[in-house]
Chains A and B, each alone.
Chain A
Amino acid sequence: MSLQKRVMYSALGIPILALAVAGCGSSATPTASSSPKHVTITFEGSLVRGPYSTYMQTLVKKFEKQNPHITVTLIGQPNWMVLHAALITAVTGGSPPTIGQVENSWVPRYAQSNALVPLNSFIKGPSGLSATQIRAFWPQIWNQQRFSGKVYTMPFATSDTILYYNASWLMKDHLPVPTTLQQLTNDMKAATSTSHNTWGISMDPGTSSAAANGTYWFISLLHAYGGHLIQGNKIVWDSSAGVHALQYIQNLYRAGALKLGNNYPGQAALMSDHALFDISSDTSYPYFMHARTSSFNLEAIPLPPGPAGQGDVSTGFNLAIFSAASAAQQQAAWQFLKFINTPANQAYWSENTAYLPTTSTSMSDISPSVRKQPWLTAGTESLPYARKLPAKAGLSQIVGNLSAAIDHALITNENAGTALQTSAQAAQQLLAP
Chain B
Amino acid sequence: MVTILSRYMERRARINESIPRFHGIRNNRYALVYLLPMAAVFLVFTIIPTLFVGVISLFHWNVLSPALSQFVGLKNYQDLLQSPVFWHSLLISLLFVLGTVPTTVFIAVAIAVLLMDNLPLRGLVRTGVFSPYITPVVATSIIWIWMLNPQFGLINSLLHAAHLPAVQWLESPHWALLGVILFTLWHNMGFDVIIFMAGLTSLSSELGEAAKVDGASSAQRFVYVTWPLLSPTTFFVTIITTIGSLQAFTQFFTMTQGGPLGATTTASYLVYEMGFLFFHEGFASAIAVVMFLIIALLTIVQWKMSERRVHYQ
Contacts and interface: CB of A to CB of B under 8 A. Distances in A.
- Give the interface size bracket for B toward A: 35 or more
Nearest to B45: A17
B151 A261 contact: yes
A12 B93 CA distance: 14
A85 interface: yes
A408 B151 contact: no
B206 to A, nearest CB: 43
Given A7-B138, A9-B249, A274-B152, A262 B171 contact: yes
B138 A8 contact: yes
Contacts of A11: 247, 249
A363 B172 CA distance: 44
A24 B257 CA distance: 30
A262 B256 contact: yes
A113 B151 contact: no
A15 B151 contact: no
Chain A CB count within 10 A is highest, among B64, B170, B271, B285, for: B64
Interface in A364-413: 394, 396-397, 403-404, 407-408, 411-412
Interface string B265-286: 1001001110111110100110
B151 A259 contact: yes
B173 A81 contact: no
A16 interface: yes
B277 A396 contact: yes
B63 interface: yes
A328 interface: no
Chain B CB count within 10 A is highest, among A24, A115, A209, A397, for: A209
A91 interface: yes
A149 B306 CA distance: 66
Contacts, number: 140
Contacts of B260: 207, 260, 407, 411
A404 B261 contact: yes
A88 B53 contact: no
A113 B65 contact: yes
A88 B279 contact: yes
B64 A92 contact: yes
Interface in B126-183: 136-138, 142, 145-146, 149-152, 168, 170-173
A263 interface: yes
A401 to B, nearest CB: 11
Interface of B: 44-46, 48-50, 52-53, 56, 62-66, 136-138, 142, 145-146, 149-152, 168, 170-173, 247, 249-250, 253-262, 265, 268, 271-273, 275-279, 281, 284-285, 288
24 contacts: A5-B257, A8-B136, A9-B253, A9-B272, A10-B250, A11-B247, A13-B247, A16-B49, A16-B285, A17-B45, A20-B48, A20-B49, A88-B63, A92-B63, A197-B152, A207-B260, A209-B273, A209-B278, A260-B168, A260-B171, A261-B149, A262-B259, A396-B277, A404-B261
Query: What are the 10 tightest A-B residue pairs by CB atom distance, in nearest-first order?
Result: A207-B259, A113-B64, A17-B49, A20-B49, A20-B52, A8-B138, A12-B249, A207-B257, A397-B278, A209-B273
Given A7-B254, A262-B256, 20 more contacts: A12-B249, A12-B272, A17-B49, A19-B281, A20-B56, A21-B48, A24-B52, A85-B276, A88-B63, A92-B64, A113-B62, A207-B258, A208-B258, A209-B257, A209-B278, A261-B149, A262-B171, A262-B257, A265-B149, A404-B262
